[in-house]
Structure 1
């Protein structure tokens, strides 16, 4: 006879290895999808970690979500983001760019530079229902304006949201915390997670250990991710460096508890809304590049 199933951890998912796909000239894409975790990742839908020499990407339509691009500081080259709403931004190493697709937009990312070694996260963030019907908009934060938080044994870049008394100057259409940082072995970063929020924690390199009161410790080797949820009350996450210096990214936001109907890059609340976006795209009403 089989014994009882182990109790589900009250905070953390199981650590997850990404699906790996080829990308660009000899590059690779590590992909994390919300439906692959055994605990909620909302408001995030997909996170792609792209390391590539970077040919141009084909224009893609989006609706009902946001596309965030974080180009890491050590990357070589630039990414030009253009969309059918007329926005054009150059994403340089250390920058964060955010496109709110709203009711629909066509977007293209183009790699630029003589020597390309791109290393970036592309994050698809679900929008709450009110933002799904808004016109598209773009937001950009240059690396020079990213606040730095120096703690014992750690250096954190606060790209969005607030940590302690420090607030990012980037104002996004929905509340999020986005951190990109380095943590030495033995150093600990404490992150408050408000009730109703989820966090996605990714170890790009090194190894991390995650803890929270009442939860089991999660070991996070390089290139793995975990989600954490504060379901009934605030949770204090503790992220500790293990072994060598670790590079981590944390993205946290309020879970969106609404119906989700997805058709490729269109994410709406009902099938009727999705079909309307498909018809708008096919008729050219989302614009063209």
Structure 2
């Protein structure tokens, strides 16, 4: 059977700050070949590689800001984040947890380092994805999924190779914990050195992985170090990941949404007119209220 081949391996860009609490490398749409159309339904990936924040009495983060037309997915590997939005969603996620916010018709949103973490300081390590919504769902009711690591379904690999956390989609008939609007997979591979994972996604699904910790070999051919992203061709279904050191790997694959993408800052819609309407609705206070 044909093997899904690597299209490119992307090294992290120079980091920049989002607010004062997120030191990120932007892979989507900032890196060459990773624009929103190519990666759809994944239209943004900011990666906060492991970074030490010293103690502070004032939590770092991003103050109140709007979103419309997509979902934000925040995966915590180190540190703790407090989330709040104007639809009533919110909570704290810690190591291994996931926040999945559906902005849809519009919310105000804020996210900060959790208060105790801020006072103690420590390593902070996160991924935030923006997941596109189809036109029919862009103006649906906002919702929030706070997913604790203990509740994430897991598949144990043979030969003490580690395990797969199924955040969304499925792996070997183990169903993911998150509900999604379109077919997509989001997996954390937590591998011991030598552990191997066979993976298979529909040929047309846009597919990538990020090496969060450790190092891996893809298809027993190409080595990929920490903090690098692998983009796969849409030429076949199956590939393998082998840990050349203890590793954590985020895998994402999704069915493209074959619709126009028009984005402006925190709004992602299908037409320029819808972007203008989003701005007017935000200025008119139609996204609700949220204290900073």
Question: Per the shorter chain, which TM-score range?
Answer: 0.7 to 0.9
Equivalent residue number for residue 15 of structure 1:
9
1:186: how far off? 3.3
Q: 2:25 maps to what in 1?
A: 30
Residue 34 of structure 1, CA deviation: 3.1
Question: Is residue 141 of structure 1 aligned with residue 143 of structure 2?
Answer: no
Q: After TM superposition, list the pairs within 5 Å mapping 1:239-254 onto structure 2.
A: 239-242=241-244, 244-254=245-255
Which deviates more, 31-40 or 147-156?
Answer: 31-40
1:67-116 CA-to-partner distances (Å, cap 9, x unmatched) read: 001112xx24x322111112222222211111111121111112111424
State the Cα RMSD in Å: 2.4
> Which string of whole-angstrom CA distances, capped at 9 and with x for unpartnered residues, describes residues 225-261 of structure 1?
0122436xx501211222x222211122111221111
Q: Which residue in 1 is equivalent to 2:68?
A: 63
Change (3 A) 1:37 1:226: farther
> What are the within-5 Å matches in structure 2 for residues 218-229 of structure 1?
218-229=222-233
Does the CA-based 8 Å contact 1:181-1:247 persist in structure 2? yes
Structure 2 counterpart SS, 1:209: strand
> Secondary structure of 2:7's match?
coil
Which of 168, 175, 182 aligns to 2:183? It is 175
5 Å-filtered alignment, 1:231-246, equals 235-242=237-244, 244-246=245-247
Q: Distance in 2 between matches of 1:89 and 1:274?
A: 29
User: Paired residue for 1:278?
Assistant: 279
Instruction: Tell me what 1:48 maps to.
Output: 46
Structure 2 portions without partners, runs of 5+: 54-58
Aligned length: 271
Which secondary structure state, in structure 1, belongs to the residue aligned with residue 238 of structure 2?
Answer: strand
